[in-house]
Amino acid sequence: MGILNVTPDSFSDGGRFADLDAAIRRAEEMIDEGAAILDIGGESTRPGSKRVSEQVEIDRVIPLIEEISSRFDVPVSIDTTKSKVAEAAIAAGAEIINDISGLRFDERMAEVAASTKAGLVLMHSRGEFETMHSQPPVEDVVSEVTNDFRRAIAIAEVRGISSDSIVLDIGIGFGKTLEQNLELIAKLAKIRDTFPEVPLLVGTSRKSFIGKILDGASPEDRLSGSLAAAVAAVLNGAKILRVHDVRETVQAVKITNAIAAQS
């Protein structure tokens, strides 16, 4: 899943693809590099980011989704917590809703996913939009994530969303300590075994925990750490990786899978 943010303030690529032509060029580049899904975001969720209105978000993402859907044969995911944005994105050609709130922020989101038969990514997070990065850490992060997934899946099922439309995202970096981020990746197989029919998504790309381990490396200097985390996630059960650096990650996963096939 290639990340394409059309925002001025995302932590890694803020402002780079706000121009429609630049965003389309980046989309084509990621597809050529091997992206199987493009995840389009119109509202930054980095620590300290501010909410934008539904209309601002729609104005940012819809022209790009329409262009990608008409030009390329690749599924588009809309990264949003707002049901009206999701609805507009699906109408424009998106096929997947990526909800970092796990159906907590907008009660209509499950209804939109069910009525449009869109895929639905449910991410673990805690707190409200403004506080989800500053939540005090829980004692048992694996149990916390597992229990929250059960809650989100139950809501989805009540609203009529098919279980084979759901993907679970462990929410690396959202209200979790450095050690807890590492623990979730290390114990991903345990979560996979709890939900054996549901694919797991992991998004570690360029995140701050990698910078902390690598002596304060900036987002642009976290490629090697991002690849190491991606490989560990795949070995422990991840089926989808949400990344900025598509070509390098695809290559790393190909080698990982080739080695794993001989075990």
Q: Domains in the chain, ordered, with CATH?
A: 2-260 (3.20.20.20)
pLDDT of residue 75: 98
What would the DSSP string read from start to end of the chain? -EEEE--S--TTTTTTT-SHHHHHHHHHHHHHHT-S-EEEESS--STT-----HHHHHHHHHHHHHHHHHH--S-EEEE-S-HHHHHHHHHHT--EEEETTSSSS-TTHHHHHHHHT-EEEEE---S-TTTTTSPPPPS-HHHHHHHHHHHHHHHHHHTT--GGGEEEE--TTSS--HHHHHHHHHTHHHHHHHSTTS-EEE--TT-HHHHHHTTT--GGG-HHHHHHHHHHHHHTT-SEE-BS-HHHHHHHHHHHHHHHTT-
> Number of C-alpha atoms within 13 angstroms, CB side, residue 24?
14
Distance CA 67, CA 15 (A): 19
pLDDT of residue 43: 94
pLDDT of residue 64: 96
Contacts 24+ apart (CB under 8 A), 255-258: 256/231
pLDDT of residue 140: 98
pLDDT of residue 44: 87
pLDDT of residue 9: 54
What distances in angstroms separate CA 250 from CA 47, 48, 179, one per listed residue? 28, 31, 26
Which residues of the chain fall below pLDDT 70? Answer: 9-17
Contacts of 59 (CB under 8 A, 6+ apart): none
pLDDT of residue 263: 87
Nearest to 220 by CA among 231, 210, 234, 228: 210
Q: Give the model confidence (pLDDT) of 104-144 as tens digits.
A: 999 999 999 999 999 999 999 998 888 888 889 899 999 99
pLDDT of residue 180: 97
Q: Give the model confidence (pLDDT) of 206-226 as tens digits.
A: 999 999 999 999 999 999 999
Which residue in this structure is represented by tokens 């009206």? 84
pTM for the full predicted model: 0.94
pLDDT of residue 17: 65
pLDDT of residue 47: 78
pLDDT of residue 46: 76
Catalytic residues: 207, 242
